[in-house]
Structure formats: structure tokens, C-alpha cells
Amino acid sequence: MKPWLILALGAGLILSGCAFKEENAGRYSLKQDRGPDSAVDLSRVPDAVPRSEPPSRWGNKSPYTVLGKRYSVLPSAEGYRQRGVASWYGKKFHGHTTSNGEVYDMYQMSAAHKSLPLPSYVRVTNLDNGRQVVVRVNDRGPFHDARVIDLSYAAAYRLDMLGKGTARVEVEAITAGSQRITAEQGRSGVPAEQAAITGRTLQVAALSSAGSAETLAGQLQTLLNEPARVQHTERDGRSLYRVHLGPLSGTRTLNWLLQQLSQAGYSGAHLVDLP
């Protein structure tokens, strides 16, 4: 079920949802989320149709903080793929505003995600039964460590996960360049977005302690299966130890690497050109 919504208003970020139910008791007419009052056949609700859209004016602030935890929005959805647990949200939030300022419709194919740009399109596969849907991501959440996506009631219906409430899923981004990338892969055997970072280097952190830098480099190498090293530099008369990941093998996409680093607490990682 949907635990929280985030709506960016003006320069600030206003948090609402179950986590703040005491402060926002009048926001929702229902205390507990649920499906519609009577049975509805949603088997023919069409998938969302991916198309190029500009970033939403609201909901893309990065980084942002919810319940004391910091989250970063990915620069692009391209290359994103993640497995984990999906949940769903329904009538309690039906008709209320989503994080990007739209109105949530539980009968449409939509979803909430913590880090994908708004809007994005993803294919969600139920790993237990093989069912698939394509949804448009226009909301933030679920802010639960064990869950990767919050689906609309219609999407959950199509995936046959309403009864249990959650499901093991794979979430894969669909972008405007997907067709081109598929064609490139057919010719070279390596997707274009992966080939583009082969041999390049990501700077993950700049630390004042050589020991801490070496420890981080070792952890990154084990976690991501990419070479990591420490480069010593001087700045303003003091030593600085830059932790670099690479040269990259191109077995993963840039967005996948940035996502993993962000989840590990290093949201400032960026590509650098080294001599």
C-alpha cells in the first residue's frame, strides 16, 4: 500500500502520507488504504504508452529527504533495471495529487518510485507468474527499504498481486532510445549505453584520510566488480585522496552504477577524464 506522497510546491518540498497522518489527519477521507468498494474488471486497461516527455516541474528535486533518509533522483531512466518487492496503493489516495502535480487515478497504469525521474516509463514483471505491465512513473515512494516500486491498483490487478499485497518483480526502464539501443546491441553484442562508458572512470569520493579512501576503494571493487583505486592530490596545502572506479568494463550501464553508488551513500559520483 502507498505509505507516503511527496509534492513539491514552490521552492520547498511538502511531505504527506501515512508517516505524517497525525499532522495531516484531514487530508485523506480513509484511514486505511484499499481497493474499490465493488469488483471492477481491469483486465483490459491498456499499458502506458512510452513517449518522450520533458521532466516534470515538480517532484524532481535532488537530493530530497524523507523520514531522515536522503534520496537522489537519477539523471536519466535509461539503463535502469532493478529487482525487488513491489507494493500497490489504491482508493485512499485516489483523486489526490501525486509528486509531480498530477492527480492519482488508481484505474490507470502508473507507479511511484524513489529515484527515477518524473515522468518515466518502466516495464514491471511479476517474477512469480511472468505477467508484465508498462506503467508511467509520476509519484515518489514507497519509502520502505524492502520495496522498489509502488504500483497503481490497476497495475497490481494486471500483475495478479492484489491478494497478497506485494510481489517479487523486475523493474526495467523503457526510454525513447530503447529501439535504437536494441538495434545497436544486435550489431555489436554490447548495448550502446554500456559501450559509451567502457574505459572511462567514475570519481566516487574525495577524502582526507588515505586509510578511509583505501578501505572505500576495496569495498567498491568487491561490491561492483569494477577496478577501484585511490589518487593522491594536494589542494590548498592539504592532502586529498580521490577514490576512482575504473577504467570501467562496460558490463553495466552508467545509470545502474550511479544508482548502486547512491544507495551506498555516494550520490555525488560523476565521470572524470584522467590523463
Tell me the CATH number at 145: 2.40.40.10
In a domain, 17, yes or no: yes
Q: Among 36-45, 87-96, 198-207, 212-221, name the most confident range.
A: 212-221
Number of domains the chain is built from: 2
Q: Identify whether 257 is part of a domain.
A: yes
Contact (CB, 8 A) for 172 and 122: yes
Residue predicted with more confidence, 275 or 149: 149
- Res 186: pLDDT: 39
Q: Residues 16-26: what's their mean pLDDT?
A: 33
Q: Would you say 13 and 6 are in contact if contact means Cβ atoms under 8 Å apart?
A: yes
The pLDDT assigned to 185 comes to 43
Q: Looking at residue 175, what is its pLDDT?
A: 79
Q: Edge-to-edge strands of the sheet including 238-245?
A: 228-235, 238-245, 201-207, 270-272
Q: Is the pLDDT of residue 47 over 80?
A: yes
- State the CATH number of the domain containing residue 220: 3.30.70.1070
C-alpha cell at 255: 545509470
pLDDT at position 146 over 60: yes
Clarify whether residues 194 and 159 are in a common domain: no
Both 68 and 147 in one domain: the answer is yes
State whether 87 and 201 are in the same domain. no
The domain boundary, picked from 118, 149, 176, lies at: 176
Output the nine-digit C-alpha cell for 30.
480513509
pLDDT tens-digit series, residues 160-194: 999 899 999 999 999 765 544 343 443 445 555 56
Q: Which one of 176, 203, 225 terminates a domain? A: 176
Burial track 38-75 (b if 16+ CB lie within 10 A, e otherwise): eeeebeebebbebeeeeebebbbbeebebeeeebbbbe
| Mean of the per-residue pLDDT values of the chain | 80
Strand (E) or helix (H) holding 255: helix 254-263
For residues 106 and 219, membership in a common domain is answered with: no
All 3 cell numbers of residue 203?
570519481
Do 146 and 203 belong to one domain? no
- Which residues have a Cβ under 8 Å from the Cβ of 53 and sit 6 or more positions away? 119
Q: 76 with 168, same domain?
A: yes
Residues 6+ apart with CB under 8 A from 252: 194, 224, 226
Residues 8 and 125 in one domain: yes
Is the domain of 20 the same as that of 136? yes
End position of a domain, from candidates 148, 176, 204: 176
Q: Which residue has the cell 577524502?
A: 207
Judge if 159 and 201 occupy the same domain.
Answer: no
Share of the chain above pLDDT 90, in %: 42
Rounded CA separation 146/127 (Å)? 16
Instruction: Supply the range of the domain harboring residue 125.
Output: 4-176
Integer Cα distance of 111 and 155 in angstroms: 8
Average pLDDT of the residues in 32-47: 79
Q: Are 233 and 125 contained in the same domain?
A: no
Residues 134, 254 within the same domain: no
Whether the link from the prior residue into 119 is cis, omega within 30° of 0, is yes
Asked if the model's pLDDT at residue 253 lies above 70, the reply is yes
Q: Determine the 3-state secondary structure of 9 from DSSP.
A: strand
Q: Please, how many CA atoms are within 13 Å of residue 177, restricted to the half-sphere of its CB? A: 11
Instruction: Measure the CA–CA gap between 125 and 187, rounded to whole angstroms.
Output: 27
Average pLDDT over residues 61-79: 92
Whether 181 is in a domain gets the answer no
pLDDT value of residue 30: 63
171 and 40 in a common domain: yes
